Amino acid sequence: MSNANREAPPSAGRAGIKRELPEHFRDYRHVWVFIELERGEVHPVSFELLGEGRKLADKLGIQLAGIVLGPPCEATQHAVAEAFAYGADLVYLVEAPLLADYRNEPFTKAMTDLVNTHKPEILLLGATTLGRDLAGSVATTLLTGLTADCTELDVDVDGSLAATRPTFGGSLLCTIYTLNYRPQMATVRPRVMAMPPRTDKPVGRVIRHKLSMTEEEIITKVLGFNLDRQSAKANLAYADIVVAGGLGLGSAENLQLVKNLARAIGAEYGCSRPLVQKGWMPADRQVGQTGKTIRPKLYIAAGISGAIQHRVGVEGADLIVAINTDPNAPIFEFAHLGIVTDAIRFLPALTEAFTRRLSPHSHDKLAS
């Protein structure tokens, strides 16, 4: 047989997979975003996801919906209004006293009933403690796929959700598809996506759904609520200025240089993953995809090499300043300003310079 007549071998990878959506999934449409409401406050990641969901919905030519689950109160109605202000075309609302506090059973029941009734094509949730717990149980109940901790969301040529996330310990990025199941589910960490603009507009179409569950059916009981004040100490995700240190600092004692600079310029301080693994800093100070994803106006990285998992967690910063003795360090590939020098000697000098030039009221100017 000649080469001209020989049948081409099947292509490998994504292009070679035969995608045939089962008949009962073909009427699943629209993009849904879970509006995370807890203790009367909407988590900002919900608005970030509405911005990303808007892009997906526009590419697919379908609607963007917000999903609000909460008790009958003013805070729940405010969450509905905010969903429209950040771009939702409509809102699905489940109001019930059982939803006053987050418990997996009633929230999973409410969400899965909504999905089975109204059939969304894509369902996005924030990768928060609450969102991760809910997403896993919803995906398991619906027998569909879930891609966690995504760094990028897009739509493939055939309309499938392309969800990209780090893998192999953050050393690689992979794109995952849920080809033959619906909804296509994904979670995204806070600050991975940009915050969309807020626009005041009237509340649009609200579709109400009843929660078919009683208190007697719920195993978990809420006895009280105690705020974890320790967890509020580090506010890396929403800081305007962040200073972080890595293995290049040489010792745990030298992290004080990072803290001193952070104090001088009114910044939060953090570290790279190896320092947490060594026990030099607590986990809530870790910057990167496997720690806190940040989008500050200024990020100063001292002695950090810049592995992929660190890069995807910080590249949303407006200005990245990297300080490293190795001119070939990966961090210089994505930093806006690179300084090849010893951070141990440079940080004290930088701190002194900022201290001389900045008045106690100048920190806001630095971040503006």
Q: Is 277 annotated as a binding residue?
A: no
Asked if 302 and 255 sit in the same domain, the reply is yes
Q: Is 309 annotated as a binding residue?
A: yes
Q: Is 184 annotated as a binding residue?
A: no
Asked if 281 and 360 sit in the same domain, the reply is yes
Task: Calculate helix-pair angle for 255-265, 343-357, nearest 10 degrees.
Answer: 20
pLDDT at 159: 87
Asked if 95 and 143 sit in the same domain, the reply is yes
Domain presence at residue 228: no
Q: Is 33 annotated as a binding residue?
A: no
> What's the CATH code of the domain at 320?
3.40.50.1220
Q: Is 104 annotated as a binding residue?
A: no
pTM: 0.81
Domain boundary among 154, 182, 217: 217
pLDDT at 365: 52
pLDDT at 3: 37
pLDDT at 173: 82
Calculate ∠ Cα 53-367-361, nearest 5°.
140
Distance CA 86, CA 81 (A): 9
Q: Is 345 annotated as a binding residue?
A: no
Asked if 47 and 141 sit in the same domain, the reply is yes
Asked if 357 and 286 sit in the same domain, the reply is yes
Calculate ∠ Cα 177-67-142, nearest 5°.
45
Domain presence at residue 232: no
Q: Is 303 annotated as a binding residue?
A: yes
Domain presence at residue 231: no
Q: Is 306 annotated as a binding residue?
A: yes
Q: Is 367 annotated as a binding residue?
A: no
pLDDT at 304: 96
Asked if 32 and 134 sit in the same domain, the reply is yes
**β pairing state of 161-167 and 172-176:** antiparallel
pLDDT at 42: 96
Q: Is 63 annotated as a binding residue?
A: no
pLDDT at 9: 39
> What's the CATH code of the domain at 185?
3.40.50.620
Residue 311 domain boundaries: 241-367
Asked if 204 and 256 sit in the same domain, the reply is no
Q: Is 305 annotated as a binding residue?
A: yes
pLDDT tens digits, the chain, 368 residues: what are they? Answer: 333 333 333 334 454 455 677 888 888 999 999 999 998 999 999 999 999 999 999 999 999 999 999 999 999 999 999 999 999 999 999 999 999 999 999 999 999 999 999 999 999 999 999 999 999 999 999 999 999 999 899 999 888 999 998 887 666 789 999 988 999 999 998 988 999 999 999 999 999 999 999 999 999 999 988 876 655 467 888 899 999 999 999 999 999 999 999 999 999 999 999 999 999 999 999 999 888 999 999 999 999 999 988 998 899 999 999 999 999 999 999 999 999 999 999 999 999 999 988 865 555 556 55
Domain boundary among 169, 185, 217: 217
pLDDT at 290: 82
Number of domains in the chain: 2
Element (H, E) at 273: helix 273-277
**For residues 265 and 241, is the Cβ–Cβ distance under 8 A?**
yes
Asked if 249 and 187 sit in the same domain, the reply is no
Q: Is 290 annotated as a binding residue?
A: yes
